[in-house]
Chain A
Amino acid sequence: SQQGEEDPQALSIQEGENATMNCSYKTSINNLQWYRQNSGRGLVHLILIRSNEREKHSGRLRVTLDTSKKSSSLLITASRAADTASYFCATDAGSTAGTALIFGKGTTLSVSS
């Protein structure tokens, strides 16, 4: 079953605009991660935010986490055509034994120049 669900499923914007993607999850977590996937390629890790953190920045990326609402958002500022990709959130299940990440279905971002 899916733990994380991204919203929207697809997003089309112009270069220079900001892109916001949302993720909701169901159970308690240790951390939440965002990944990017270019068409036909493997996934690449973007950023990890721990359950006791509320916001994190990495370059043009800003991630927020609201554990009370079980949701996270990924903001890409000043988007570029090269940002065109699918973006996935992933969560663990909060087990102390360690566990696999469960991924959502992703948001497909298209940035046109």
Chain B
Amino acid sequence: GAGVSQSPSNKVTEKGKDVELRCDPISGHTALYWYRQSLGQGLEFLIYFQGNSAPDKSGLPSDRFSAERTGGSVSTLTIQRTQQEDSAVYLCASSLGRRGRIPFTNTGELFFGEGSRLTVL
């Protein structure tokens, strides 16, 4: 697609349920990022993918959070046993990232999706 696509745009769930959030990056972008934004706050980094591997998972807040990326494209962020403090907007972004053997020394421009708003009751 032309831009980064996220689904669902809105998700309301009950405490204790599992949720899956999907991100479809811009075609050809090898780097993919997940961030979380609570109401009126800045962006909290969660995880970063280069291709299918995740060099940096340091931002995942607990072991209830996991993410995967398959085929170097679509990524899924899964939150198990959701808690009320998980309520936030989850933003996905992609960037060109590494190109074959070309060294990747700079994080370039990120292209963001519109986010998935999660509300845990």
Contact = CB atoms under 8 A, between A and B. Distances in A.
A98 interface: yes
Interface string A79-113: 00000000010101000111111111110000000
Contacts of B31: 98
Interface in B98-114: 98, 103-114
A56 interface: no
B50 interface: yes
A78 interface: no
Nearest to B3: A42
B3 to A, nearest CB: 9
A19 to B, nearest CB: 19
A31 interface: yes
Interface of A: 2, 30-31, 33, 35, 41-45, 48, 50, 88, 90, 92, 96-106
Given A99-B55, A99-B107, A103-B45, 15 more contacts: A2-B42, A30-B105, A35-B110, A42-B114, A43-B43, A43-B93, A43-B110, A45-B110, A90-B110, A92-B107, A96-B105, A97-B104, A98-B98, A98-B107, A104-B42
